[in-house]
């Protein structure tokens, strides 16, 4: 599995989890949903993502650029 896919899976899981916690536990969990969304937005512009850097240091491979659109 590649870094890009793991980052998307983790971000999606955090959003779904925080929405479920907000619905069943406390609406303050929506702040976490907003935080994840803002982090995704800024990483789209700046290419800075802490999880990406952690996974890279762990040796998880990046998606090869030439593997797309074959």
Between the CA of residue 52 and those of 9, 14, 16, 18, 55, what are the distances in Å?
12, 15, 20, 21, 5
Q: What is the pTM of this model?
A: 0.82
Cβ pair 1, 58 in contact under 8 A: no
Residue 49 CA to residue 66 CA, distance in Å, equals 23
- Beta carbons within 10 angstroms of residue 1's beta carbon: 10
Per-residue model confidence as pLDDT tens digits over 14-53: 999 999 999 999 999 999 999 999 999 999 999 999 999 9
Measured CA to CA, the distance from residue 39 to residue 26 in angstroms comes to 22
Q: What is the mean pLDDT of residues 8-14?
A: 95
pLDDT confidence band for 68 (50 / 70 / 90) = low
pLDDT tier at 64, thresholds 50, 70, 90? confident
């Amino acid at each position: 599995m590649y870094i890009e896919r793991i980052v998307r899976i983790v971000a999606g899981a955090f959003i779904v989890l925080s929405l479920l916690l907000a619905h069943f536990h406390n609406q303050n969990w929506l702040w976490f949903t907003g935080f994840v969304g803002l982090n995704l937005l800024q990483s789209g512009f700046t290419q800075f993502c802490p999880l990406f850097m952690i996974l890279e240091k762990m040796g998880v491979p990046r998606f090869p650029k030439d593997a797309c659109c074959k």
